[in-house]
Amino acid sequence: MRATLTAGLLFGLAGCGPNAIPATRNDSAAVAPSPSASPVTPTPRPTATASSILVAIEGEGLRLIDPDSGRTRPIAFGTPRRQTLSALAARGQPETGTNTECGAGPLAWARFSDGLTVQFKDDRVAGWSVDRAAEGKVTTMAGIGPGSTRAALEGAYAIEMPDSTLGIEFAAGDMGGLLDGPGKDAKVTDMWAGVTCMFR
């Protein structure tokens, strides 16, 4: 499983502000460069490619992460569908469809090969879910996802265990999920947040 990801700020470059003070030149103090001096070429800093960007799950939506710098960018619930799918394009072409029998009304969905499914309502992100196929591939910023033990889950989040017809269900803040057993070694099999289509 991936190591716990560290959070940073949104990808972007900070430009000069309107009150920036321009550099000044003092001709009397100018020193001509030595003819023998060799110019120093700065080493370019590598930038993350789209294919290297990771995705974390959280109670408010998804978060894109640059593993090299730790910078992150949220994809919050309510983000337009086209913008979301464009941001996730490096994960490959998802399988798509619409579930018309959900209690919240019809939900469109896009399922990626790594087990992440994103739900859309009215062409905006409404929820997400992950299953066993996401083991070792999709986690929260704290490193919790399918395949994590209950002990690890409880070490990262304060959880509640509601009565459920789905199985051994837990709630961790705004996220929900299922365990494959009651003990500390039981493993997370599914997680979700936001609007999903589950029949209880």
pTM above 0.85, yes or no: no
Domain boundaries, the chain: 50-194
What are the pLDDT digits (tens) for 170-186? 999 999 999 999 999 99
Cβ atoms within 10 Å, residue 54: 17
| Residue 196, token pair as written in the block | 């999903």
Across the chain, what does the average pLDDT equal? 81
**Rounded CA separation 120/150 (Å):** 30
Tens of pLDDT, residue by residue over 20-61, are 333 333 443 444 444 444 444 444 444 445 557 899 999 999
Task: Please answer whether residues 171 and 178 qualify as being in contact, where contact means their C-beta atoms are separated by less than 8 angstroms.
Answer: no
Cα dihedral sign for 154, 158, 163, 169?
negative
| Beta-bridge partners for 180 | none
User: Residue 192 in 3-state DSSP?
Assistant: strand
Maximal C-alpha separation, the chain:
83
